Every structure is written in C-alpha cells, then in structure tokens.
Structure 1
Amino acid sequence: MSSETTHRPLVAILSGAGISTDSGIPDYRGPQGLWRRDPEAEKLVTYDIYMTDPEIRRRSWQMRRDSEALRARPNGAHEAVVRLERSGVPVRVITQNVDGLHQIAGMPARKVLELHGTARAVECTHCQARSGMAEALERVAAGEADPACRECGGILKSATVMFGENLDPEVLTEAVAVAQAADIFIAVGTSLQVQPAASLAGMAAEHGARLIIVNAEPTPYDELADEVVREPIGTALPALLDQIGKGARATG
C-alpha cells in the first residue's frame, strides 16, 4: 500500500444511508428517516425479537418483499467513487449500507468493506448457509410467510447485521487498517452516530488523514474535520472526488 501512496493519496470513503437517498432508498435517522417515521420498524431488525417472535419474522419478510432497496440503481455519487478508483487513485470504500450499490456501480467487491453486511443475501442462523435474497423472496411471494433454511430447517435472516449483533471482526479490523492508512478520509451521508463505524472518522484524523464530512446534518465529528460540506451529496461528492482526482494526477 505504501508504494501506491507515494505520489497518490489513499482515499477512504465511509458511506452511510445519505449516499443512497438519491437512488430512492430512505435514510434511517434523518428528518424523514425510517426510525423517526416508524419506531416499531426497529423491532423488525432487532436480533433477539426476530429470533423469538414468528410474527415479527413474517412482518420482516413482507418488509423485504415490498422494499424498493433491491430494485434501486446506483446514482451519481456512487458513480463518482468508481470514476475516482478507475482513474488510478487508490480508493477503499467502507460502507454502513447494505444495498450493494457501490459494487453495482462498478466498484470492485474486494475494495468495498460492508460493515453491516448485505441485504442481497440471506443466511441461516443455525448452520450459516448463505443463499440469494431473490430466491428467498420468491418463496415468500409463493406463500411461505417465514421461509426456513433448505439445508437444516433453521431460521433464515437477511445477511445484514441486526441490532444486537456484533460486526464481523475481520471486516472491522480491515476497516480500522484502512482508516489508519488513509491520506484522505471522506465521511459521506452518515450521521456518525453509530459505533464503531463512526469512530473510524476520528481514528483517521488522529493518524493524520485529511478528514472531510459531507452530510446534510451536523455530526459529532464536525469539529475534527478539515472540511464540512452541507451541499446535496449528489452534486457535492462528484465535485469533491473529481477535484481530488485532478490533484492526484497533477502530483502523480
């Protein structure tokens, strides 16, 4: 990694729900966020409740079936990240999102760390077998209100990190390493209120990164930032990343 960054800065991008709102996926904690509009919705993604309440599981599967998230397409902000990576600048994405839109936009999967898992797969809570979300939703549409694991009959859940579950320690360890190595760390569309993801911004700043926060609402890390951008993400992030790309090419 050090040879890559001799002339070209390592750019780490921590993305939250705000980067995907232009794709039609609502955020969680903003003024119109899901948790504010429907506090009961948190129960559907709380592990202990999900595992012990069959009615919650049935409602969860209906929510997934009706969700627009899996039909969403990447927007200009996702595409700008890919454009920067393809220009030769070392880029790593750490995302709190589960929508997979960074990869669909063209970001190599090995350069995307999904802190909270993915909504595009399901996993068995008993044998850990994984399969596609689309297949599970086809079973729901066919009448299975709470589809069980085909391998062992265990309870299936989205391959996302629910409330009450720990993050994957390997993914988190890699995210910490990226944050500490970054020359530029951009937190975009995230309230920086959910730990441990939020602490990555502070960690990057402590290790000398230029910290840039692009978010509509204030965050707890604004005072640490070298730059805070309140403009709409769909236009602000592409402009910022294009500027970084030009600067990297000029020095490279």
Structure 2
Amino acid sequence: MNSELKRMIDEASRVVVFTGAGISTESGIPDFRSPGGLWTKMAPIDFNDFLRSAALRREAWRRKFEIDKTVQQADPNKGHMAIAKLVDMGIVAHVITQNIDNLHQNSGVPPEKIIELHGNGTYARCLDCGERYELEEVRAIFDETGECPECRACGGFIKSATVSFGQAMPEREMRRAEEATLACDLFVAIGSSLQVFPAAGFPIIAKRNGARLVILNREPTDLDSIADLVIHDEIGPTLAPIAMLN
C-alpha cells in the first residue's frame, strides 16, 4: 500500500478522481494515443469530415464496430472497483473521466457522480435533436444496408456519443468538472498522460485553487513537477489496498 496516498486521502474532506486511458488498459482496452496504438496506424476521422462525407461516416462506423469487439469484452479492473468503493464510502465526490468505455458505471459508480469529458461510446445520438440510439440498432441497419442510419425523429446524422477530433467539448460536462475541481481539496489524476487539453487543465485548476494534487501513472507526465505526490506504478495494485478490496 502507498501509505502517503492513503494518508492524503484520509486527511481530505472532498476528493475528486480524474481518470485517463491508463486505468482502462489494465482491463485490456488499448490506449489509442500511445506509440504503436491504433491512432498511430489509422488517423482519427475529424468531426467536420464526418459531417461532410457519407463515405467517411460509413468508415467511422466501420471502425467503431471493429474497436468495439475489444472494448465490449472488457470488465472493470481493481482500479475501477477501488474508485467505486471510495465513492460508495463518501470519500470520492466525483469521478471526472476522459474515458468513453463506461467501465466506471459498470464498476458501480452512480452515473450522477461521473463526469464524462469525452462522451460515452456505448450508445449513439443524433447530432441535431439529441435522440439516443442503442448501438445494436445502428449495427443492424449498417450490416444490412451498408449505410449509416439517419435519425427517425429529424433525419439528422447519428454518431457515437463521443467527442471526436474537431468537435466541441460538452459545455455541461466541462462546467460540472470545473465546479467539482474547484470544490475539492484533493485531486487525484489516475492513468492520464495529462497532455490532452482542455481536459488536462483540471489538475492545474485544482492545484492553483489550493487543492493537493496526486498523479498516479505508469509513465512520467508534464505535470509531475507541480504535484504533491507522484506515483509511477500500476493502478489497480496501488488503489486496491487503499480501498480495502479483497
């Protein structure tokens, strides 16, 4: 157990956890941004290109369904479960996440405690009216016709409910994340390279507002120098004893 991290959590009155891809790699989900990851082999489709090109919309959905073969097999790991227990104990107030895999929800964290900065890849929405669509329905139409379905309510484009490159960040979630960050006295960044802005700005905001900052990541980050505690180690084995998981 990392005794210093446990002491800081015990001393805090309001903890916010911030998670990135590193926590989900321990569940077998690849980190697309890392060297050798999917995005180094296949450039992401920009949001504006998705809007302008039917061919690129088809390609986006083809890639989505291919990636889901891996993502949908993943289960929450000890890191997710430890965070869920700390939320249940009233120690962690909110979980701000860059991840789109729904593993925090699957681990038992109440949806209202989770702030998804980059959306959620387990369902889709119409870009115009916001109607929700389950992936199974979209997949059935795509497999049968080879085309991307249009919204039955308004005829708009249906897209995975994630934030693509070139797409605006969700205003409500960004506002919630800022409010949670400013209200905490301990901010724990877990499994994030802290290079993707504006999401990576929240640890800086917390630190400038007087909160203590902990960074738990296997590799060094650009913000290590401002953190009160830096742990370069595996996430699940580090957090599980602190949450007293068996």
* TM-score for the superposition, normalised by structure 1: 0.86
- SS for the counterpart of 2:221 is coil
Question: Percent identity of the aligned residues?
Answer: 39
- SS for the counterpart of 1:41 is coil
Q: For 1:199, give the aligned amino acid.
A: G
For structure 2, the 5+ residue unaligned runs are 1-10
For the residues of structure 2 that align with 1:138 and 1:21, how far apart are their CA atoms? Answer: 29
Aligned counterpart, 2:6: none
Contact 1:120/1:134 (8 A) holds in 2: no
Q: Given the alignment, which residue of 14, 17, 21 partners 1:13?
A: 17
Q: Given the alignment, which residue of 170, 186, 189 partners 1:187?
A: 189
Contact 2:138/2:148 (8 A) holds in 1: no
Give CA-to-partner distance per residue, 1:78-133, whole Å, 9 cap, x none.
10101112223243100011111101110000000001111112111233222222
1:191 CA drift (Å): 0.9
Aligned counterpart, 1:250: none
1:57 aligns with 2:57: yes
Give CA-to-partner distance per residue, 1:17-70, whole Å, 9 cap, x none.
11101222111222333222x1x3312xx1011111222211211112122223
1:25 aligns with 2:26: no
For the residues of structure 1 that align with 2:136 and 2:206, how far apart are their CA atoms? Answer: 37
For the residues of structure 1 that align with 2:240 and 2:211, how far apart are their CA atoms? Answer: 20
For the residues of structure 1 that align with 2:119 and 2:153, how far apart are their CA atoms? Answer: 21
Give CA-to-partner distance per residue, 1:123-168, whole Å, 9 cap, x none.
1123322222232123223334322222222211111111111111
1:1-252 equivalences under 5 Å are 9-36=13-40, 38=41, 40-43=42-45, 46-67=46-67, 68-239=70-241, 241-242=242-243
- SS for the counterpart of 1:77 is helix
- SS for the counterpart of 2:72 is helix
- Which stretch of the first structure deviates more once superposed, 130-139 or 198-207? 130-139
For the residues of structure 2 that align with 1:14 and 1:72, how far apart are their CA atoms? Answer: 20
1:71 CA drift (Å): 3.3
For structure 1, the 5+ residue unaligned runs are 1-6, 246-252
1:188 CA drift (Å): 0.8
- SS for the counterpart of 2:44 is helix
Contact 1:23/1:74 (8 A) holds in 2: yes
Q: For 1:53, give the aligned amino acid.
A: S
Contact 1:18/1:190 (8 A) holds in 2: yes
1:8 CA drift (Å): 5.7
- SS for the counterpart of 2:165 is coil
- SS for the counterpart of 1:191 is coil
- SS for the counterpart of 2:213 is strand
Q: For 1:29, give the aligned amino acid.
A: R
Contact 2:83/2:243 (8 A) holds in 1: no
Q: For 1:221, give the aligned amino acid.
A: L
Aligned counterpart, 2:3: none
Aligned pairs, number: 234
* TM-score for the superposition, normalised by structure 2: 0.88
For the residues of structure 2 that align with 1:184 and 1:48, how far apart are their CA atoms? Answer: 38
- SS for the counterpart of 2:178 is helix
1:226 CA drift (Å): 0.9
For the residues of structure 1 that align with 2:38 and 2:235, how far apart are their CA atoms? Answer: 19
